[in-house]
């Protein structure tokens, strides 16, 4: 019985630590400035190109000083007339202001990503937005 109780306590402590860690990792979506980028790769069916792109993009996001929300996505394949599923990857970043986003545009991590990965894409489309109250 004592061993069972100890196991329950260990599991409970582990779950609490995991929950605290998950909350600490969570970054709120900053409504001040959003930067949404869509990438169309030259060879979207090429596994090596996709891996190279993802590796470079993830490295960039790990090293970015300014990007807050960091979301990488792929088309959700939601077939509706108003949905464009033609892109290969999407990227959603948020910033506390336009001025901070301007700094991000010039930061070494961002410029290195462009240098490393731009040969992999044929088109990039960006949508920047500022929040309204």
Higher pLDDT, 38 or 79: 38
Is the pLDDT at 95 greater than 70? The verdict is yes
pTM above 0.95, yes or no: no
pLDDT average, residue stretch 86-106: 95
The average confidence (pLDDT) of the chain is 85
pLDDT average, residue stretch 88-105: 95
Q: Can you give the pLDDT at residue 32?
A: 87
For the chain, which domains are there?
30-130 (3.30.70.100)
Cα 20 to Cα 26, 38, 64: the distances in Å are 10, 33, 24
Cα 12 to the center of its chain, rounded Å: 31
Q: Can you give the pLDDT at residue 35?
A: 95
């Amino acid at each position: 019985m004592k061993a069972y109780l100890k196991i329950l306590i260990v599991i409970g402590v582990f779950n609490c630590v995991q929950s605290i860690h998950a909350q600490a990792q969570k970054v709120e979506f900053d409504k001040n400035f959003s930067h949404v980028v869509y990438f169309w790769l030259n060879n979207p069916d090429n596994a090596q190109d996709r891996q190279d792109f993802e590796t470079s993009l993830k490295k960039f996001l790990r090293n970015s000083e300014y990007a807050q929300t960091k979301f990488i996505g792929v088309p959700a394949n939601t077939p509706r007339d108003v949905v464009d599923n033609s892109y290969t990857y999407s990227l959603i970043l948020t910033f506390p202001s336009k001025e901070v986003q301007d700094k991000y545009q010039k930061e070494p991590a961002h410029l290195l990503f462009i240098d490393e990965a731009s040969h992999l894409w044929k088109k990039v489309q960006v949508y920047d937005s500022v929040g309204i109250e």
